[in-house]
Amino acid sequence: MAGFQQVNISRNLQFTGPANHDRNIEGNWNPDRIMKEWNFKELALDETNQYTKYVDGTSAVALADGGITLTTAATDTKTCSYAFGGIHVLASKKPYVEFKFQINAITNVAINAVLNDEVDENSGLLPFTISGTTITDNATNGVGFCFDTNQTTARWYTVQTIAGSQTGLLLSAAQAPFTAATDITLGIEFDTSANATYFINGVAVWYKATATTAATALVPYIGIRNNSATAHILTCRYVRLWEDA
């Protein structure tokens, strides 16, 4: 096409045949947008510069085929988590974070996939837990997803806290399909006012106005906690993050 052209795509652009693996993009990507991703293909996890793990007792984090594994010790309330503190993001910079993972069992467990202010880094507390219908925030500012079998209905909640004031929404079964040993992709997107949109498997499922403090630095965080004496294994495929430069 001659001249200046623009293509707007609302869903995705798919390459097939040889274009699926040939070099097929030329020019610069958006220089005003930072992209950071963790695909866990390295030989060792750089826990000095990129990651902060918390392993409770004999819980463990390890590189594995297709991601990293978070394994809790076979004791009630044991926790295992990973915080990606190598980059801090601001809601005012319009970040989008995406987690892809699976877990071996969805009974007797709590799971968090969130952006939070690191209050719970290096601790046995998840940023969010739910008992019955009561949400408890152990972070001061944060936004994301919580699944907790201690809640009345064991489905995904969207959760958020702003200056320690927490709220959340129980999603429907149709909005939030979740099966053991099956990958799920959870995403959180902000605008400059810290209004948040939540995505499951690429579909927007909720919107929350002023979900957290726009000026507070947040980090991606994923973690699990036992709700019984049964060990759990979460395999995190990747964590991807975009924000304005």
Could you give the CA distance from residue 68 to residue 62 in angstroms, rounded to a whole number? 6
For the beta carbon of residue 28, count every other beta carbon within 10 angstroms.
6
Pair 77, 223: CB distance under 8 Å: no
Give burial (CB, 10 Å; 0-12/13-18/19+) of 25: exposed
The torsion of the CA quartet 88, 78, 150, 130, rounded to 10 degrees, works out to: -30
Could you give the CA distance from residue 21 to residue 124 in angstroms, rounded to a whole number? 43
| Each residue's pLDDT tens digit, 103-127 | 999 999 999 999 998 765 667 889 9
Nearest C-alpha neighbor of 155 from the set 218, 106, 97 = 106
- With 0.85 as the threshold, say if the pTM is over it: yes
Could you give the CA distance from residue 6 to residue 95 in angstroms, rounded to a whole number? 24
| Each residue's pLDDT tens digit, 11-47 | 888 878 777 767 777 766 677 788 888 888 777 776 6
Could you give the CA distance from residue 183 to residue 6 in angstroms, rounded to a whole number? 34
Domains, the chain, ranges and CATH? 31-244 (2.60.120.560)
